[in-house]
Amino acid sequence: MNQPTHIRQINDSVRGALVDYVRPYPDQIRFSLNQMNGMSTWAWSLWRAPEGADLLESIPLSGKYMQCAGAADALTIEVRRLDTDGTAHQYTIGKPDGDLSGAPTEVIHWDEGRHSTTVYPHEVFTADEAAVIFYTYFLTDMVSQPYELRDLHLSWPKPESDAGVS
C-alpha cells in the first residue's frame, strides 16, 4: 500500500488524502471529477501534502494547488503557484491556440448556480479532459504542455481605477 502524498478537497468542506485503495490514482481522479454535477458536488482541489505529514493526524492546506469548478460536462480548471519569494499567482488553464481577443464568453456555474465565472471557450473542459491534467499535476506538480495558462491577476485591493472609486 502506498503512503498518500496528495490531499483532495471536495467543494470547500470535505478534505482528505487521495488514496488508491479502491482504484488506481488516475481512475480515482477521473471518477471523482465525473461525479461533479454543479449542485451537490461542484468543486475539486488537489495539492501535495508537506513532506513527513501524518495525514491521519491533520489535513494541511497548501499555497500551491490545482482546482476545478462546475459540472462534469463543463469545468474550469485553475492552478495556483508560489514564486520563490512566496508570492502567489493563480492561472486559468486553457487548451492550446485559444483566442484571447475580446472578452470571455463561456459561463461556468457551480454551487447550485450561486457562483459562476466566465472563461474563454478553450478554457472549458470535460471531466475526462480535466482528469488528464490533474493526474499530470499529481505526478509532477506542473501543468504540462500543450496547455496554456492565463494569469488571473487576483491581487487585492484592486487599484482605484479598477475599483470604480473616484
pLDDT, tens digit (0-9, with 9 covering 90-100), for 114-153: 999 999 999 999 999 999 999 999 999 999 889 999 999 8
Type of residue found at 8: R
Q: Is the dihedral of CA 99, 144, 59, 56 positive or negative?
A: positive
CA Rg value for the chain? 17
Element (H, E) at 27: helix 25-34
Confidence of residue 156 (pLDDT cuts 50, 70, 90): low
In tens, the pLDDT along 69-105 reads 999 999 999 999 998 998 899 999 999 999 999 999 9
User: Do residues 119 and 108 make contact, with C-beta atoms less than 8 angstroms apart?
Assistant: yes
List C-alpha distances in Å: 15 to 59, 60, 113, 146, 166. 7, 9, 22, 30, 43
Q: What is the DSSP string of 129-151?
A: HHHHHHHHHHHHSSPPTT-EEEE
User: Do residues 130 and 77 make contact, with C-beta atoms less than 8 angstroms apart?
Assistant: yes
Give the predicted TM-score (pTM) of the model: 0.86
User: Which residue from 7, 20, 2, 3 is spatially nearest to 49, judged by alpha carbons?
Assistant: 7
Q: 114: which DSSP letter? A: T
Report phi then psi at 119, rounded to 5: -130, 170
CA 19 to chain centre: 18
3-state helix, strand, coil in the chain (%, to 5): 20, 35, 50
In tens, the pLDDT along 36-76 reads 999 999 999 999 988 877 776 777 788 899 999 999 999 99
